Structure 1
Amino acid sequence: MVFETRDQAELRARLRRLREARVDGSMIRIDTLCGRLALPTTYRLSRFVADPAGESDHDRSDR
């Protein structure tokens, strides 16, 4: 996770800065955690990491 906010305008501003920095859009994930009466809606911005633990594809296929 890179960023989390309850403010949709703040999320859009962060996405705009990423585009200006030429971050590959296919590597970005946006989740909307829907709020209910007690919890507000939260927006979460994540960046895909292809191999976070340094494992090879073969190592992961054993799981």
Structure 2
Amino acid sequence: MILETRDHAEMVTRLRELQAAGVDESMTRIDTLCGRLTLPTTYRLSHFVTGPARQP
């Protein structure tokens, strides 16, 4: 996870910074966690990381 925030503008700003730095957009994920009435909406910005190949 790169960022977790309740501020949509902060999430968009960080995403643009990553794009400007050349991060592959296809490896980026944005999740919107809707809290409805009990919790505020939260945004998560993540980057997929490939791991080493597993041996059988």
Using the size of structure 1 for normalisation, the TM-score is 0.80
1:58 is displaced (CA, Å) by: 4.7
CA distance in 2: counterparts of 1:50 and 1:21, whole angstroms: 19
Moved over 6 A (4+): none
RMSD, aligned CA: 1.2
Aligned residues: 56
User: Larger radius of gyration, structure 1 or 2?
Assistant: 1
Query: Looking at both structures, which has the greater relative contact order when contacts are Cα pairs under 8 Å and sequence separation is at least 6?
Result: 2
CA distance in 2: counterparts of 1:16 and 1:37, whole angstroms: 30
Q: Which residue of 2 aligns with 1:37?
A: 37
Q: Which residue of 2 aligns with 1:7?
A: 7
Identity of aligned residues (%): 62
1:28 equivalenced with 2:9 (yes/no): no
1:49 is displaced (CA, Å) by: 0.7
Unaligned runs of 5+ in 2: none
